[in-house]
Structure 1
Amino acid sequence: MKRQQQGLSLIELMVSMALGLVIVLGVTQAFLSAKNTYLTQNASSTMQEDARYLLTRMTQEIRMAGMFGCLATITPPPNNPEVFTAAQATPISWTLDNSNGNRLMLVTADVGSAGTVPTWTVLSDCLTTATAYNGAATPASGQLAFPLRQVYYSFKNNTIYTGAVGAQQPLISNVSEFTVMFGLAADATSASVTSYVATPATAQMPFIRTVRLSLKMTDPNGRTRDQTYSVVAALRNRLQ
């Protein structure tokens, strides 16, 4: 005698399919949530790394701004001496320029330029003589060489560029705001900062002691909210 064959009823099949669909939707939602979390964290990490790279680089150069060697009196180079003299008088400046972008200029001791030629080189015996030369120069016996670079950073079109005016190369993108503030001392002999200004006057240049950089990064895909980073760097040679 044959046994009667039994199968799933329509209701049981529909319930099974509904439960399977719920499980699939749950797994899909968990996957999408994990993916979105990863993309958000990755975007935030990228913004943080870009900001850290830029601020670390600029801080290193700001700290050495205005360092022209071991003697205060330096003979300027014979060719275009007025350019070097102006750089000595104003080793740091912030120019507001709507067409070319806001521009930060630094004259800084060469802390490592990947083999590029310095803007000037000061040769000195650190006792009586110090002479500046355009580009690279080789010290004689008893002399030290102090390579100097004139560095520019420009901010325009949500991008920070570096390089000479007219030959700028992009450094980091997705920057919605970039501000520079200068910490001023009360007089030329004081080391304490008493106020911050955005555009110091020419007469205030000798009073600059610190520079505050502020950077707001934006994710172009909108995965995470804007992030603001800031740092304060001191001009070491003016605090000694």
Structure 2
Amino acid sequence: MKQRVLRSRMQGLSLIEVLVSLVIGLIVVGAVLVSYLGSGKTGKVQAAYAEMNENAQIAMTIMNRDLLLAGYAQPTGVSGTTFTRSYSDRPIFGCDKGLDNVIRRNQTAPWDNTVCAVAGADDHVIEVVYEADLTNTVPTAANVPSDCIGNTLPTTVVGTATYYIAHNRFYLSSGASGKSELYCASQQGAAGQPLVDNVEAMRIWYGEANAANPRQIVKYVSASSVSDWGRVLSVRVCLLMKSSEAVLNSEDPLTYLDCDGVERTSADFFVRRAYFTTTTLRNKMAF
């Protein structure tokens, strides 16, 4: 005999229950998807800041090293109570508005006030001068001191002695990719070469002492306001770094502070950050 199945004992899901289950499932999946997308975007922003931190550290390390050597020269004798040296001219020089033309970046003579542009946008450049040798530079294949881009330095003859004087010039220029990069050029006329990319702006201030106390910095000024380059004891550098990709969107904070402390807006959705460093010219501070 077949058993009858009572209708009251039959079980199943109603349409409302199915719809509720689907809604709950969609909410869970949506939450997981939003979390995944958010973590991916956060990772891109963090990677952009990590890249900028690394590039800024490399650029500042390169410039810092040269600034620490500014004015360095081996003693060649004694005159009264002071040492005579192979190089005793100004250790650094700079311009606020760039140079009067591109060729001047690689001119064979040291800079002077006549080659600084007097108008135009901010385009800070700096020249660092010191006696190069086989210990403070990377020797070339000919076992000769090199400049900031690895080229052989020309010789400077004083009496019977031969010296190598580096004139390393740091500035910003657009590379082959169109991005703004930190460049270095040297005195002997070779074309400058890029060192670090995505450096959007560079600002330089000079710590100048007064005549009464030549070892006490009383003010930081731009290059055009330096009254005596021989009294500059330190250099403050700011590099405004830019991410290599646009990782922000309209919902993110788009403001940042530039090298002058002015709040700017990143309309192109690239991340930017200003980095500062101050270097004392130790060859000017020695007692």
Q: 2:172 aligns with which of 155, 177, 194?
A: 155
Cα distance per residue 1:72-95 (max 9 Å; x no partner): 5356xxxxxxxxx7xx42331113
Q: In 2, distance between residues paired with 1:68 and 1:200?
A: 27
Task: Give the equivalent residue in structure 2 for 1:198.
Answer: 222
Change (3 A) 1:174 1:103: same
Task: Give the equivalent residue in structure 2 for 1:229.
Answer: 275
Shift of 1:33: 1.4
Change (3 A) 1:191 1:163: same
Match of 2:185, as an amino acid?
A: G
The alignment of Structure 1 onto Structure 2 pairs a total of residues equal to 212
Task: Give the equivalent residue in structure 2 for 1:65.
Answer: 70
Work out whether residues 41 and 247 of structure 2, in 8 Å CA contact, stay in contact via their aligned partners in 1.
Answer: no
Say yes or no: does 1:22 pair with 2:47: no
Match of 1:183, as an amino acid?
A: G
Q: In 1, distance between residues paired with 2:34 and 2:65?
A: 46
Moved more, 201-210 or 22-31: 201-210
Structure 1, unpaired ranges of 5+: 76-84, 135-147
3-state SS of 1:67 partner: coil
Structure 2, unpaired ranges of 5+: 77-82, 103-122, 146-152, 175-179, 249-269
Shift of 1:185: 1.0
Cα distance per residue 1:151-178 (max 9 Å; x no partner): 2211134321123365222222222220
Q: In 2, distance between residues paired with 1:19 and 1:202?
A: 70
Work out whether residues 50 and 172 of structure 1, in 8 Å CA contact, stay in contact via their aligned partners in 2.
Answer: yes
Cα distance per residue 1:69-121 (max 9 Å; x no partner): 1235356xxxxxxxxx7xx4233111322753643211235465443342267
Match of 2:246, as an amino acid?
A: N
Shift of 1:226: 2.3
Change (3 A) 1:188 1:11: same
Q: TM-score, normalised by structure 1?
A: 0.75
Shift of 1:132: 3.0
Cα distance per residue 1:138-161 (max 9 Å; x no partner): xxxxxxxxxx53222111343211
Q: In 2, distance between residues paired with 1:97 and 1:61?
A: 21
Task: Give the equivalent residue in structure 1 for 2:92.
Answer: 92
Match of 1:204, as an amino acid?
A: D
Work out whether residues 126 and 170 of structure 2, in 8 Å CA contact, stay in contact via their aligned partners in 1.
Answer: yes
Moved more, 57-66 or 105-114: 105-114
Q: 1:10 aligns with which of 12, 15, 30?
A: 15
Task: Give the equivalent residue in structure 1 for 2:48.
Answer: 43
Equivalent pairs: percent with the same residue?
25
Say yes or no: does 1:238 pair with 2:284: yes
Shift of 1:189: 6.3
Q: TM-score, normalised by structure 2?
A: 0.63
